[in-house]
A and B are shown apart, each in its own frame.
Chain A
Amino acid sequence: MNGLKLAANYLRIGIMNEFQYRANLYIQILQTFIALGTGLIGLSLVFDQVDQLGGWGKADLLAVMGVFTIMGGVIRAAIQPNMERLMDEIREGTLDYALTKPADSQLLVSVREFRLWTLVDIVVGVIVLLVALSQLNWRVDAWSVLGFLSSLVMGALMTYCFWLIITSTAFWFIRVNEIANLFEGLYAAGRWPVTIYPNWLRYGLTFLVPVAFAVTVPASALTGRLTLQTWLGALALTATLFVVARMIWRTGLKNYSGASA
């Protein structure tokens, strides 16, 4: 459990660091509210015209937006900064410092950065979600809460694996920042349930970029749409992605050490 201790340590340092830049908190709050505001405007424009979209009502879509905001906060707080740092280090050849430390390299490169203030997104996302649930007259039941929490964790894990795979390609292709941009664009698709997209796009958003599992599936759990098959599918995909990501990381690392030696 050395790894967990290490992660906790980096987390502590990251938080202390963030406290030095408190002005960023206000900027983050503003950004979160702008994103929320434009999201709500988009929703209300749609619901000016119709009262449901692909079987999802207004409150359902509000719940999707809540989950989207929460997951976005998790990605920007913990996943993206680590992966962006890793990309830079691979490109500039300064990864060696991290590799010489006595810990699992994958774990190490995944926990070094933490952006505390983006947690504002999570707080706001939770509030939006609660508002949506109250509009839905939602009643607590074990299956949907467990389904929601577990699929949220799996969604975050899948997103992490996806990022790691993309980032690891930097061992072979130098300019991968554009691919990172691509993800940001595609993640925005999660604002809407993936069921409204045409088939080819839906499959892409489910299996190539796990947006469906990151946002739509957890939201389905809360709105009573999650089936056991989907849940098991998510579990299987998480495990597969994790194994694949680790393999690609290992191969890339070997490639890297070979080149710099």
Chain B
Amino acid sequence: MKRYFDFYASMMRMSVLEQWQYPVANYFYMIGMLAEPVIYMVVWSAVANQQGGSVGGYTPGSLAAYYIVWTLVRQMNIAFTPYGWEWRIRQGRLSMSLMRPIHPLHEDVAFFAGWKVVMIVLWIPLALALSFFFKPDLHPTLLEGIIFFVSIWMAYLIRTITLSLLGMVTFWTTRVSALFELYFAAELIFSGRLVPLSLMPEWVQQAAWFMPFRWAFGFPIEALVSSMTVNDLFAGLGMQLAWVFFGILVVSQVWKVAIRQFSAVGG
């Protein structure tokens, strides 16, 4: 246990130092990702205004809050994509990782976790700027704040798990981009990324409960922005926890098979 703690501390420290070298590049990267939520925000604010000030329970102010928090959660959401897996297999980097007495997935989780620390720091001024332009309406309670903080890291874990599962498909075939595209499309609809789920048809909302996407994206935002009951907050956290445990179980099984495949054909 101490060993893993030491490893995570060391790896995250390194990743922070590394990413801190490129604040400008990281900023452009973040700003590039701002366009998407700003578009959604503007469109839905226009809709709300035309409807006399609110749509599906969201006012322009709470929509602004939703999409500004969205930008942080989107940063938390970044994990190694399946394309990254393909790249590291081709580069022989996976082989090097496999030579170390620590599971390569720990390296991934720790590396991106460190990066996120940098991203959160860089995000704060951006969030202030966005708040200046779009006047969010945000009044979280302390409990909501705490749950939000825990749940963004859970969301990060869940998305790492799902993307890693997709990434492992590259052990069998290099033509997986079709699968990835479908995944990303499903994520867009069912996660609350395109619009808050409460603006979606009823059946989408129900389906989203049983899929990982919402727990890896929409839930933390809702926890902070919309006024959920204490029960709902903890139920959501419980769902996240369940997905993390279930996900780790699945990943470790698939990993065994995947690595057998990998070492059959060579890296």
Could you say which of B28, B35, B201 contacts A186, with CB atoms under 8 Å apart?
A: B35
Q: Which B residues have a C-beta under 8 Å from some C-beta of A?
A: 22, 24-25, 28-29, 31-36, 38-39, 42-44, 46-47, 50-51, 55-56, 133, 175, 177-178, 181-182, 184-185, 188-189, 194-195, 199-201
A37: min CB distance to chain B, Å:
7
Could you say which of B55, B175, B185, B195 contacts A34, with CB atoms under 8 Å apart?
A: B185
Could you say which of A53, A188, A189, A198 contacts B47, with CB atoms under 8 Å apart?
A: A53
When the two chains form their complex, are residues A192 and B51 in contact, meaning their CB atoms are under 8 A apart? no
| Ranked 10 nearest A-B pairs via Cβ | A185-B35, A178-B28, A181-B32, A182-B32, A185-B32, A34-B185, A186-B35, A175-B25, A196-B46, A50-B50
Chain A at the B interface: SS class: helix
Chain B at the A interface: SS class: helix
When the two chains form their complex, are residues A196 and B29 in contact, meaning their CB atoms are under 8 A apart? no
A195: min CB distance to chain B, Å:
10
A57: min CB distance to chain B, Å:
13
Could you say which of B25, B33, B177, B194 contacts A185, with CB atoms under 8 Å apart?
A: B33
CA distance A38 to B185 in the complex (A): 7
A56: min CB distance to chain B, Å:
10
7 residue pairs of the A-B complex, CB under 8 angstroms, read: A27-B175, A41-B189, A46-B44, A53-B47, A188-B36, A189-B35, A196-B42
Could you say which of A53, A181, A191 contacts B39, with CB atoms under 8 Å apart?
A: A191
A226: min CB distance to chain B, Å:
22
When the two chains form their complex, are residues A30 and B178 in contact, meaning their CB atoms are under 8 A apart? yes
Q: If A41-B194, A178-B28 touch, does A201 touch B38 (CB 8 Å cutoff)?
A: yes
Given contact pairs A49-B47, A49-B56, A185-B31, a sample of 18 additional A-B residue pairs in the complex whose CB atoms are under 8 Å apart: A23-B175, A26-B178, A38-B188, A38-B189, A46-B43, A49-B51, A52-B50, A53-B46, A175-B22, A178-B28, A178-B29, A179-B28, A181-B28, A182-B28, A185-B33, A189-B38, A192-B39, A196-B43
Contacts of B46 in A (CB 8 A): 53-54, 196
CA distance A185 to B51 in the complex (A): 28
Contacts of B44 in A (CB 8 A): 46
- Count of A-B contacts with CB under 8 A? 88
Contacts of B32 in A (CB 8 A): 178, 181-182, 184-185
Q: Which A residues have a C-beta under 8 Å from some C-beta of B?
A: 23, 26-27, 30-31, 34, 37-38, 41-42, 45-46, 48-50, 52-54, 175, 178-179, 181-182, 184-186, 188-189, 191-192, 196-198, 200-201
When the two chains form their complex, are residues A185 and B36 in contact, meaning their CB atoms are under 8 A apart? yes
CA distance A23 to B36 in the complex (A): 30
